Amino acid sequence: MNAPLRRVGVVVMVLFGLLFANLNWIQFYKADEYRNSDYNGRVQVAEYENRRGNIEAGGTAVATSKETGGKLKYLRTYPGGAKYAHMLGYKPVNLAETGIERAEDDFLAGTSDVLFANRVKDMFTGDESGGGNVLLTISKRAQDTAYDQLRNNNNGVKKGAAIAIDPRTGAVQALVSMPSFDPNPLASHDTDKATAAYNELERNPDGPLKNRALSEVLPPGSTFKIVIAAAALENGVTKETQIPAGASWTPPTSGTPIRNAAPSICPEAQVTLMNAVTESCNTGFAQLGVKLGADTVKEKARQFGFEQDDLTVGRLGEGGLTVAPSRTGAMEAPGGATDPAALAQSSIGQRDVKMTPLEGAMIAAAVAHGGKQMRPYLVKQLLGPDRTTSYDNADPRVLRRPVDDRVAADLRDMMVSVVRNGTGRNAQFNGYTVGGKTGTAQSGPGTPDHGWFIGFALDKDDKPVSAVCVVLEEAGSGGSAEAARIGGRIMQAAAADSGSR
């Protein structure tokens, strides 16, 4: 009986060898994968072990971490509540983080490569200095104004967005998407509550989780006329050139005539380009667009930033919030040749032309800044956990140059005329030269029109201080005038803030 006993001994050895090999597989080969698995609660505990850094706007923390004494040591809180929700995003326990919380996660958590020296120092001193701080470009006053004005707009509109940028740098001064949401419940350590809160927001038909300022596109309406005007100015037309207009114009291949918003607008056969912009003359721009041709229109739009599908707004040069590409859409007939009807409608910002509010603000900013469009950014500075070492200071850079100085100056004059004499009067405020363009975009049969305003403000030295874009979705009649009023208030706040700086 000894021979089988010995063999049984060998069998046991083999079984244990299998266990050993399998443990090697799990604890060595697969260890990293399991350690960082989404299902691994230890990842969270480790994440909440150190104090996450602040996100600050204008010297105030808008995202901060509070000690809890629980298993997850810190609770992420957003003192600004819904006001900053769309740019900050949120840092939930069990869901994916969003916004700046996601884009600057490494630095906020203190695990970023640039904070390596800091971690080594902590190891020796035994301190736990936690994560770094992110300073936003946001102007607190402009953000407050944008949020309050948009929320309490005179037209009772529930959906919309506003964004203001500094034309000289591209720094975002205000960013609001409406309706907004309170990110605090989403960061709750009670993951069931957080999930319930998320699901409720997700189910809301008004889409409060959408960042309408950056990631939603709408037909820009007449604000797109600035792009057509720029193309015209580069193709032999001047401010004073008489262009064909009229009360109604029917493109060659279409049975549907293009009309103006009111009979009082450019009924004469010819108007100057200046007046066409000021009054927002549809028939004039439809004909102008068809005359320029689809390729020219598309190319000019592209030069202003349309079709860019990799733009992000965050830290300059690296990551950030994704921006949806603005599109000019198809203007061809089924055969492939340009469809004049489509081109005509596209030229007044309808049909398949779609734009983000950020793109609107960037068009206005380029006009205000002598034709130079700056790369937009949200993060001004990365500040170390000790609050003295600065790791990344934003260095503004030119993104592209859609028009030259001369064309920019003409466009500026025309946009100033819009606010001074035309459709954008509501945007006017004291002490600054304000220019802009309103837009009323048809959103579909039976749905009220969207009201747009893009604009800029120049100080008394003609230096641009702010460029803005406001959109009120399904605002109906008077929407663009209200958008212009809100745009003016936001720029006024931004100008006051930059003046006091």
Q: Which residues bind other proteins (CB under 8 A)?
A: 1-6, 8-9, 11-13, 15-16, 18-20, 22-24, 26-28, 30-35, 37, 39-42, 45
Encoding tokens for residue 258?
Answer: 């293009």
Q: If DSSP codes are grouped into helix, strand and coil, which group holds residue 426? A: helix
Q: How far apart are CA 469 and CA 203, in angstroms?
A: 28
Q: 2 or 500: whose CB is closer to other proteins?
A: 2
Least CB distance from residue 23 to other proteins, whole Å?
6
Contacts of 138 (CB under 8 A, 6+ apart): 57, 58, 84, 87, 172, 173, 174, 175, 378
The residue from 65, 180, 222, 347 that is catalytic is: 222
Q: 3 or 123: whose CB is closer to other proteins?
A: 3
Detail the DSSP E strand segments found in 332-463: 373-374, 379-383, 390-393, 398-400, 433-441, 450-458
Encoding tokens for residue 22?
Answer: 């399998």
Q: 39 or 124: whose CB is closer to other proteins?
A: 39
Residue 498, amino acid: S
Nearest to 376 by CA among 329, 294, 312, 424: 312
Least CB distance from residue 189 to other proteins, whole Å?
15
φ/ψ bin of 367: left (φ > 0), alpha (ψ from -120 to 50), beta (otherwise) = alpha
Least CB distance from residue 404 to other proteins, whole Å?
58
Instruction: Mark whether 248 is an active-site residue.
Output: no
Least CB distance from residue 4 to other proteins, whole Å?
5
Q: How many Cα neighbours within 13 Å face the side chain of 116?
A: 2
Q: 30 or 406: whose CB is closer to other proteins?
A: 30
Q: 27 or 393: whose CB is closer to other proteins?
A: 27
Task: Please provide residue 67's backbone torsions phi and psi, each rounded to the nearest 5 degrees.
Answer: -70, 140
Tell me whether the omega of the peptide bond preceding residue 179 falls within 30 degrees of 0, making it cis.
Answer: yes
Least CB distance from residue 24 to other proteins, whole Å?
7
Q: 1 or 123: whose CB is closer to other proteins?
A: 1
Q: 23 or 337: whose CB is closer to other proteins?
A: 23
Least CB distance from residue 125 to other proteins, whole Å?
17
Q: How far apart are CA 13 and CA 77, in angstroms?
A: 55
Q: How far apart are CA 468 and CA 415, in angstroms?
A: 13
Q: How far apart are CA 322 and CA 286, in angstroms?
A: 32
Give me the residues paired with residue 164 across strands: 174, 468
Encoding tokens for residue 456?
Answer: 């800029």
Nearest to 283 by CA among 355, 235, 347, 352: 347
Q: If DSSP codes are grouped into helix, strand and coil, which group holds residue 76? A: strand
Please name the helix (run of DSSP H) or strand (run of DSSP E) that holds residue 399, with its range, or none.
strand 398-400
Task: Please provide residue 430's backbone torsions phi and psi, each rounded to the nearest 5 degrees.
Answer: -70, 145
Q: 10 or 264: whose CB is closer to other proteins?
A: 10
Contacts of 445 (CB under 8 A, 6+ apart): none
Least CB distance from residue 371 to other proteins, whole Å?
54
Q: 16 or 116: whose CB is closer to other proteins?
A: 16
Nearest to 139 by CA among 107, 105, 176, 103: 176
Whether the CB-CB separation of 364 and 415 falls below 8 Å is answered with yes
Least CB distance from residue 44 to other proteins, whole Å?
10
| Active site members | 222
